[in-house]
Amino acid sequence: MSILVTGGTGKLGSEIRKLLPDAIYPTRAELDLTWPKSRIHDVIKGLSPEIVIHCGAMTGIKECDANPALAYATNVWGSYNLANASNLSGSNTRFVYVSTACVFSGKPPGHFNENSSALPKNVYSLTKYIGEKFIESLDMNSLIIRTNFIARGKWPYPKAFVDRWANYLQKL
């Protein structure tokens, strides 16, 4: 089975690489989400993956806020073009879009689920949510995962919260 994973050098992609070492992990030089649609289509057509796990994104909140055009080009149009190319590859490709729990405002506090109303609070979460809506608009075999992936290690934003709970990825 041919599996393609975007964002293979990111935190989540690196963890997936440990579990799926034989998957295809294109570098940004081989597949850049900001490329024109036709170029992305050519890459996907050439690879013909059966499953695409799309972890590639511009994820830095400050970076996205500072450059919303690049965030939109990467997280919205790049995701749409990748999904569309996967859909048109002719092999009934399964497309997994990794989104974020940040699409929720966090208010009121509590447990959110797929039926909860999204209320993105920054450019990053807005672009990921719009990406979700674009993926949903395609007639394809897709799955959207809103993850709360936090890599182990020291939390880099000590003033962001007074408390924090997270689920860590663990090898079973």
Q: In terms of C-beta distances under 8 Å and separation of at least 24 residues, what long-range contacts does 26-34 make, across chains too?
A: 31/6, 32/78, 33/6, 33/57, 33/73, 33/74, 33/75, 33/77, 33/78, 33/79, 33/81, 33/82, 34/70, 34/73, 34/74, 34/77, 34/78
pLDDT, one tens digit per residue, over 77-113 is 999 999 999 988 766 899 999 998 888 877 776 677 7
pTM of structure = 0.86
Question: What is the residue extent of each domain of the chain?
Answer: 3-147
Correct CATH for 3-147 of 3.40.50.720, 1.10.3470.10, 3.90.120.10, 3.30.1490.100: 3.40.50.720
Q: Which region among 76-85, 132-141, 156-165 has the lowest average model confidence (pLDDT)?
A: 156-165
